[in-house]
Structure 1
Amino acid sequence: MTITTLSSREFNQHTSEAKKAANNGPVFITDRGSPAHVLLSIKDYQRLTEGQQKIADLLAMPGVEDIDFEIPAMRELARSEDFT
């Protein structure tokens, strides 16, 4: 697997080369020197997301209504800070 890094400008000027590079590994696209995006082949994307279920699918499972699930009120999570 080869990792390629391109600036946003290089990506805009050489999109077809970036797509070809994505077939050999991820292509990191930087914005002002910091990674901002990753270009993956569909094969790599599907491999990464394989087996992961969506929250909507999990909530629609039979028997889920029998699970006790309580969400704490926001006031229980909030805490006061002393900014002095």
Structure 2
Amino acid sequence: MDNQWQLQEAKSKFSHIVDRANEHGPQFLTRHGHKAAVVISFEDYQKMSAPEESLSDFLKMPPFADSDFDVFDRAKEVSRDIDL
């Protein structure tokens, strides 16, 4: 696999690995033969971390679209005194 790197090697070739992540996709780092980390491009990171829709769009979707938000009204009782 040309996108898998041992951690020791990755330390000395970090710039090269970042370039490969930008050009060829994710680069996988291993430690003692086990997967340890992944280097991805900033563009890929943004795609992964960006919400697919805005909060207002989410609230317009069922079950919120037809909801009567009055059910969330606050209780009308008087608050109690607390000794501090």
Q: Structure 1 vs Structure 2: percent identity of aligned residues?
A: 28
Aligned position for 1:78: none
Mapped partners of 1:34, 1:41: distance in 2: 22
Unaligned runs of 5+ in 1: 58-62, 67-84
User: 1:4: Cα distance to partner?
Assistant: 0.8
Give the SS at the match of 2:48: helix
Letter of the aligned partner of 1:7 in structure 2?
A: Q
Aligned position for 2:32: 32
Unaligned runs of 5+ in 2: 56-68, 73-84
Mapped partners of 1:11, 1:52: distance in 2: 33
After TM superposition, the score normalised by the length of structure 1 is 0.56
Aligned position for 1:22: 21
Does the alignment pair 1:9 with 2:8?
yes
User: 1:21: Cα distance to partner?
Assistant: 0.8
Mapped partners of 1:13, 1:28: distance in 2: 15
Segments of 4+ moved more than 3 angstroms: none
User: 1:52: Cα distance to partner?
Assistant: 6.0
RMSD: 2.4
After TM superposition, the score normalised by the length of structure 2 is 0.56
